Chains A and B, each alone.
Chain A
């Protein structure tokens, strides 16, 4: 990695102002993505601003929502009795990210800021219609994801939490890439305050997307059979050494069907 200045501010405003004031400054959360990028010298930040001391971790559950602080680790979400009760699908998703070490470092804010096209959380956020809360504003999921590794975040904007409306039914099914264990195809289905929604990660060339045809089918008839009949076109899906676009399209159907069955 290249040399950089390491800063660990104690106040959100300070962190935000350092990041806003220097286009080459970068935020650091769990470092699970960012540190390998630095080690491979793919990024040359002037400053690295560690978000660990800003008090951004924690889980709050009210009747209708679950709010998760940006710095909350995957392991914390997976183990949270509150999350397990309110949105069991979310706890389960977090518990299947990466490995034990990754889950104890990686954070929900880092995952969403990074918006890896194979990451799991983006599917949950989009399917449940969650709200990304930053130091500046609240961003609806539908406006937040803007393609691979691209989001609505502006320079210096820090995610502080994510608010999930509690769905009546939800489940996530992930077909892990055999090597990386990220989602090769992941499908999150939800029926809740934001409607009946289906989000697909791992498959699309532009990252996570909503599967409108499946949403319509499920809105009419919430059943595994309803999605099983929906064909997913291979156009616009990823193709690599592990899975062709056609295979991914097929897996979208299988994962969706299994997710609906699991959601009950």
Chain B
């Protein structure tokens, strides 16, 4: 009898979905501990002010209040650490101002926590917080990067002159200048990458609990990486040794990067629960998410491309200002440098690249990685620039790309900006996307749209990204203060079922399914017999969590290594039982067989023997079948592909509708095609959101104008077309599975495809570029302002 195929390549339904869609997910805010108190954080409503004093007397006297803390109470507590150090052009380290858990001396953005009230109920905590009297002296504020670098701009930190966090460069300036000097053509483009608010469905929450009898602290938190939080908070903020600190990240309702970072509230509840010897819960209300979750993107750039007469790219020069917000969030400095500027080669063999990145402080929420992190900024810049280059030089948008692609026989390919790509075939994804999108049939569709009074445009992006982060030694040399390996523990139980303990974390991606499939495939154990455990530092080994599309490429590779150890040991046990030489025992489809015979033992027989070692080579081999492996990747992985977007514009109102979207991606080997399709569609939804809808807007005084869903436009189902997803595969050459990663490609590849399509639709109006989001008002103003070039 043939069992249904459940292994690598099967679209298994997601194991976790029954609990999610039936309301049985178990999130932090679902957890309630005996004697639990509630924390409410009083946040600054000023963007920038001196904090002259906080009168807590009335709040402390308010009903149900157990404690009120301000920064003055947090003695002996460190600030929130930054996990990455960038160096300036001159070799000096970046400015790294203190990031206190509760604001001290000054508040620096709307939402900056100034005090915490802890009471028996959440209502009581809120009631009391209203009685806090905060004495602010307003200071001038600065909200945008362009304002922050102006002479005389308000200074966010004393230690960061001119608001500069760092002024960094990469590439060969001399070679680039020389190439520009002799180029036949040059093209220049100014562009902005809009600021985004992640808006995971589940707001952040944290519960601290302390057991005075053991001295153990437990933190339940909405995190993508519980061990990272344990390390940062334990070692740098609260000085709790790791054996006395347990961090649990149970079901987490989306992260998109925003739940990587160590946040003040985690330290507050952990510290306060220790002090009060009672559990303390904090859960964000949605308005707090808007003003306290790390935001994403926010770049202002100038890009220049030098071309030969035939359209060959000769050199790229980029200058970027990026917003760090008011304080450095955990990985913020890395995003606009090593996750952005190193990606500026894209899929092109541009021989010389030079980029300067200046990171600046502003009176806004800290900015850090958000789905794609740095790579969407690079792909938007590059893929817009390539379209503009085609337009300015009169070349075809597709031909200019084909001409400059890194050919498929050029791998491994060393770019001029540090990365070495291992594999790819950009022509295959381009051809497949153009075919699925019926690129050739577009002129007819444009004509049909015109007959209905609509402007139709088509655009593409041929993008590349680097994920599967990351080789520890490489990132260490680039300023990372952590290693980025991953770990897996594979426990084969006596009856042959398997539990997989992974250091990665699933917050919607479907790891419980994909990883179970992987293990099922490799060990020949039925899918239903494999359970994946993640998210609790008391259960799982020390892993680095989930971000940068690393869970399968790095975490899955660790599983393969652990399974190799299981198989190696299993062969020894089988050789003993079957009285054969170890070298003669083969493992396949869950069976150990003596080569060339029908003598075999199943994995469950071997497991039982391992745990009941009566007939066992006990002199040479330990009992048990339980192996752990750490895997440090040799390189990043390099997914890429081609996204094609088709839009229709209502010229009277300026409304842009995405009518077709095709994504063909090379994500390496596909374990579960259904999950890959869902990940790509979700990413594209966010990319279309960025391109057309989303925008975090501050006014000049640093007030967040888009501070709720009434003003911040999230993409919704009716903003999206049916997103066609395809894959074309080249395998990653340096990890055992050949996988690359699919979690971010959608958000990286899609925004430039959308804007390229919008610009194409507006070609009659002489539009060369427009920044995101392409809102109706923006499109309408462009149409108003532009004399129509072509005849009606």
Contact = CB atoms under 8 A, between A and B. Distances in A.
Interface of A: 1-3, 40-41, 175, 178-180, 240-244, 247, 250-251, 254
Contact of A241 (B705, B776, B780, B781): B705
A179 B705 CA distance: 12
A244 B777 contact: yes
A242 B652 contact: no
Nearest to B709: A179
A242 B711 contact: yes
A209 to B, nearest CB: 21
A250 B711 contact: no
Contacts, number: 42
Contacts of B695: 241
B780 A250 contact: yes
Interface in B398-422: none
Contact of A251 (B653, B711, B714): B653
Contact of B706 (A40, A175, A241): A241
B653 A175 contact: yes
A243 B652 contact: no
B712 interface: yes
A173 B127 CA distance: 44
A247 B710 contact: no
Given A41-B126, A250-B780, A178 B710 contact: no
Contact of B652 (A2, A41, A254): A254
A247 B780 CA distance: 8
Contacts of A250: 780
Interface string B693-713: 101010000000110011111
Contacts of A254: 652-653
A179 B653 contact: no
Contacts of A242: 711, 775, 777
Given A242-B711, A251-B653, 20 more contacts: A1-B123, A2-B127, A40-B287, A41-B126, A41-B130, A178-B775, A178-B776, A179-B706, A179-B709, A179-B711, A179-B714, A180-B709, A180-B710, A180-B711, A241-B697, A241-B706, A242-B775, A242-B777, A243-B776, A243-B777
29 contacts: A2-B127, A3-B123, A41-B126, A178-B775, A179-B706, A179-B709, A179-B711, A179-B713, A179-B714, A180-B709, A180-B710, A240-B711, A241-B695, A241-B697, A241-B705, A241-B706, A241-B711, A242-B711, A242-B775, A242-B777, A243-B776, A243-B777, A244-B777, A247-B776, A247-B780, A250-B780, A251-B653, A254-B652, A254-B653
Nearest to B781: A247
B710 A179 contact: yes
Interface of B: 123, 126-127, 130, 287, 652-653, 693, 695, 697, 705-706, 709-714, 775-777, 780-781
Contacts of B713: 178-179
Contacts of B710: 179-180
B140 to A, nearest CB: 22
B582 to A, nearest CB: 64
Nearest to A118: B710
A247 B710 CA distance: 19
Nearest to A255: B653
Contacts of B706: 179, 241
A41 B710 CA distance: 17
A103 B38 CA distance: 34
B321 to A, nearest CB: 22
User: 3 closest pairs, A vs B, by CB?
Assistant: A179-B713, A180-B710, A178-B713
B705 A178 contact: no
B256 to A, nearest CB: 19
B18 to A, nearest CB: 24
A219 B34 CA distance: 71
Contacts of A179: 693, 706, 709-714
Contacts of A3: 123
Contacts of B130: 41
A241 B695 CA distance: 10
A251 B654 CA distance: 10
Contacts of B127: 2
Contacts of B776: 178, 243, 247
A250 B653 CA distance: 8
Contact of B777 (A1, A2, A40, A247): A247
B704 to A, nearest CB: 11
A154 B188 CA distance: 63
Contacts of B711: 179-180, 240-242
B127 to A, nearest CB: 8
Contacts of B781: 247
Contacts of B714: 179
Contacts of B697: 241
Contacts of A243: 776-777
A40 B285 CA distance: 10
A251 B127 CA distance: 44
Contacts of B709: 179-180
Contacts of A178: 693, 713, 775-776
Nearest to B693: A178
B629 to A, nearest CB: 47
B130 to A, nearest CB: 8
B690 to A, nearest CB: 14
B263 to A, nearest CB: 23
Contacts of A241: 695, 697, 705-706, 711
Contacts of A251: 653
A180 B713 CA distance: 8
A1 B124 CA distance: 11
A253 to B, nearest CB: 9
A131 B218 CA distance: 62
Nearest to A248: B777
A40 B710 CA distance: 14
A1 B123 CA distance: 8
A18 B130 CA distance: 29
Contacts of A175: 653
Contacts of B712: 179
A250 to B, nearest CB: 7
A225 B781 CA distance: 23
A120 to B, nearest CB: 16
Nearest to B719: A178
Contacts of B775: 178, 242
Contacts of A247: 776-777, 780-781
Among B695, B706, B711, B781, the most chain A Cβ lie within 10 Å of the Cβ of: B711
A102 to B, nearest CB: 13
A235 B493 CA distance: 76
A251 B780 CA distance: 10
A250 B780 CA distance: 10
Nearest to B287: A40
A249 to B, nearest CB: 11
Nearest to B776: A178
A254 to B, nearest CB: 5
A161 to B, nearest CB: 30
Contacts of A240: 711
A78 B710 CA distance: 24
A37 to B, nearest CB: 13
Nearest to B655: A175
Among A178, A241, A247, A250, the most chain B Cβ lie within 10 Å of the Cβ of: A178
